């Protein structure tokens, strides 16, 4: 049984095929290849986009989807997470989509289930479908060839599973990644880094802005988000008329991560990312449940 825990679970050739499927699915419509298949979602952390995106993807493929209401589940009665997953697995689902605040949970569950485990985000570790949809969005914008394109990832990189997954995936596809963050949000890395976005703005094709992951901070790291914004908000004034695109995985802190003017600018691909997320997740479900 194959699982998707991290982007490197899929080879480059597998990802090429997956993105081709996603391209086909992006034309719209239903492709009911997963009729009589059951998918369970198990979300221990909040989600707007990822959960509904997986649900729409599953429905457009004709699968049945069951959401476990974690707040009312037996994990609240002291059952271990592995036992919960094994009990759900005994009901015979084809996939279980898991989000958890602790890194490593989807990997552990995958060692105890027959169903495919799909990681929908685990702590600060990985968010593979987000990175796949980001790659898809970037490739579409640049007409397929992304080798040598330079992307600045800006913000709370140290605590971001989106950054981790994107760094692995985008570099594998030949892109150069530059990390832009204040010292407290900068991970240990061999990649190019800077504390000042103005140092590199003339030399990037893409800016990926990230939300400050306040829920993962043990202490307040900035006097206020406004102080952070004065150094790291991607503004109309900063970007000017440069030929670049702006991505953000959402949820966006408006005027902290990206300003209102730029969010309304056609170079900002946030809603395209959301739309592409459905097509890419359809392709992931097809690969793990149908093509096996
Ligand atoms: N939605 C993304 C995630 O779940 C990014 C974020 O929450 O900032 O990781």
Quote the pTM value: 0.96
Neighbouring-strand partners of residue 66? 40
Ligand 1 site-directed mutation target among 102, 130, 215, most atoms within 8 Å of CB: 130
DSSP H helical ranges for 173-269: 225-232, 236-239, 260-263
What is the distance between the alpha carbons of residues 39 and 281, in angstroms, rounded to a whole number? Answer: 13
Distance 249 CA to ligand 1 centre (A): 6
Ligand 1 atom closest to 49 (CA): 1
User: Is residue 147 domain-shared with residue 237, that is, in the same domain?
Assistant: yes
Distance 82 CA to ligand 1 centre (A): 24
Distance 36 CA to ligand 1 centre (A): 31
Which positions of the chain have pLDDT values less than 50?
none
* Residue ranges around ligand 1 (CB below 6 Å): 121, 127, 161-162, 211, 249-250
Contact 282, 24 (CB under 8 A): no
Task: Give pLDDT, residue 55.
Answer: 98
User: Is residue 148 domain-shared with residue 96, that is, in the same domain?
Assistant: no
Q: Which domain holds residue 148?
A: 129-269
CATH of the domain at 14: 3.40.50.1370
Residue 30 placed within a domain: yes
Chain centroid to CA 105: 17
Task: Give pLDDT, residue 69.
Answer: 83
User: Is residue 123 domain-shared with residue 232, that is, in the same domain?
Assistant: no
Ligand 1 site-directed mutation target among 126, 127, 214, 281, most atoms within 8 Å of CB: 127
Task: Give pLDDT, residue 216.
Answer: 86
Residue 2 placed within a domain: no
Task: Give pLDDT, residue 224.
Answer: 77
What residue's CA is closest to ligand 1, atom 4?
A: 121
User: Is residue 31 domain-shared with residue 74, that is, in the same domain?
Assistant: yes
Task: Give pLDDT, residue 72.
Answer: 76
Residue 1 placed within a domain: no
Cα dihedral sign, 217-222-226-229: negative
């Amino acid at each position: 049984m194959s699982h998707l825990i991290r982007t490197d679970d899929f080879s480059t050739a597998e990802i090429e095929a997956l993105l081709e499927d996603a391209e086909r699915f992006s034309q719209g419509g239903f492709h009911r290849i997963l009729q009589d298949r059951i998918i369970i979602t198990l979300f221990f952390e909040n989600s707007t986009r990822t959960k509904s995106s997986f649900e729409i993807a599953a429905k457009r493929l004709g699968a049945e989807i069951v959401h476990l209401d974690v707040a009312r589940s037996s994990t609240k009665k002291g059952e271990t997470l592995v036992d919960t997953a094994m009990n759900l697995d005994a009901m015979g689902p084809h996939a279980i989509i898991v989000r958890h605040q602790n890194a490593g949970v989807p990997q552990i569950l995958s060692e105890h289930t027959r169903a495919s485990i799909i990681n929908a985000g685990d702590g600060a570790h990985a968010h593979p479908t987000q990175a796949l949809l980001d790659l898809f969005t970037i490739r579409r914008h640049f007409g397929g060839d992304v080798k040598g394109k330079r992307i600045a990832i800006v913000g709370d990189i140290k605590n971001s599973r989106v950054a981790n997954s994107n760094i692995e995936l985008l570099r594998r596809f030949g892109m150069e990644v530059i990390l832009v963050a204040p010292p407290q949000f900068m991970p240990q890395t061999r990649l190019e880094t800077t504390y000042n976005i103005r140092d590199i703005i003339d030399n990037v094709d893409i800016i990926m802005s990230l939300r400050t992951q306040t829920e993962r901070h043990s202490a307040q790291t900035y006097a206020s988000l406004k102080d952070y914004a004065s150094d790291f908000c991607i503004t109309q004034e900063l970007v000017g008329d440069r030929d670049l695109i702006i991505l953000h995985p959402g949820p966006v802190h408006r005027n902290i991560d990206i300003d209102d003017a730029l969010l309304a600018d056609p170079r900002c691909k946030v809603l395209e990312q959301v739309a592409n997320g459905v097509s890419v997740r359809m392709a992931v479900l097809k690969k793990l449940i149908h093509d096996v």
